[in-house]
Amino acid sequence: MASKRKKSASATLNTFRAGPNEQGFFGMFGGRFVAETLMPLILDLERAYDEAKADPTFHKELAELNTHYSGRPSPLYFAERLTEHLGGAKIYFKRDELNHTGSHKINNCLGQIQLARRMGKTRIIAETGAGQHGVAVATVCARFGLPCEIFMGAVDVERQKPNVFRMKLLGAKVNAVTSGARTLKDAMNEALRDWVTNVHNTYYIIGTAAGPHPYPAMVRDFQCVIGNEVREQMMEREGRLPDTLVACIGGGSNAIGLFHPFLDDKGVAIYGVEAAGHGLDVPNGHSASINGGRPGVLHGNRTYLLQDSDGQILEGHSISAGLDYPGIGPEHSWLKDSGRVTYVAATDKEALDAFQMCTHIEGIIPALEPAHALAHVKKLAPTLPKDNLLVMNLCGRGDKDIFAVADHLGMKM
Partner 1 sequence: MSKTTRIDRRFAALKKEDRAALVTFVTAGDPDYATAEKILLGLPGAGADIIELGMPFSDPMADGPAIQASSVRALKAGQNMHKTLDLVRTFRKRDKETPIILMGYYNPIYVYPRERFLDDAMAAGVDGLIIVDVPPEADDELCLPAVERGLNFIRLATPTTDAKRLPAVLANTSGFLYYVSITGITGAAAPDVKAVHSQVARIKKSTRLPIAVGFGVRTPEQAKAIAAGADGVVVGSALVNAIRESLGSKGEATGKTVAKVLDLVKSLAQALRTA
Residues that bind partner 1 (CB under 8 A): 23, 31-41, 179-180, 185-186, 189, 192-193, 196-200, 294-300, 302, 305, 307, 309-313
Q: How far is the CB of 295 from partner 1 (least distance, A)?
A: 8
Q: How far is the CB of 206 from partner 1 (least distance, A)?
A: 13
Alpha-carbon distance 271 to 287, whole Å? 17
Q: How far is the CB of 121 from partner 1 (least distance, A)?
A: 15
Nearer to partner 1, 116 or 374 (CB): 116
Q: How far is the CB of 164 from partner 1 (least distance, A)?
A: 23
Minimal CA–CA distance to 340: which of 93, 2, 27? 27
Nearer to partner 1, 244 or 307 (CB): 307
CA distances from 396 to 122, 156, 211, 359 (A): 29, 17, 22, 13
Nearer to partner 1, 277 or 293 (CB): 293
Nearer to partner 1, 305 or 371 (CB): 305
Q: How far is the CB of 413 from partner 1 (least distance, A)?
A: 35
Spatial neighbors of 293 by CB under 8 A, at least 6 apart, are 304, 305, 306, 307, 326
Q: Are 97 and 71 in contact (CB under 8 A)?
A: no
Spatial neighbors of 149 by CB under 8 A, at least 6 apart, are 123, 124, 125, 126, 172, 173, 174, 175, 194
Nearer to partner 1, 223 or 301 (CB): 301
First and final C-alpha spacing in the chain:
66
Neighbours of 123 (CB within 10 A): 17
Nearer to partner 1, 62 or 328 (CB): 328
Q: How far is the CB of 216 from partner 1 (least distance, A)?
A: 16
- Per-residue 3-state assignment (H helix, E strand, C coil) for 141-170: HHHHCCCEEEEEEHHHHHHCHHHHHHHHHC
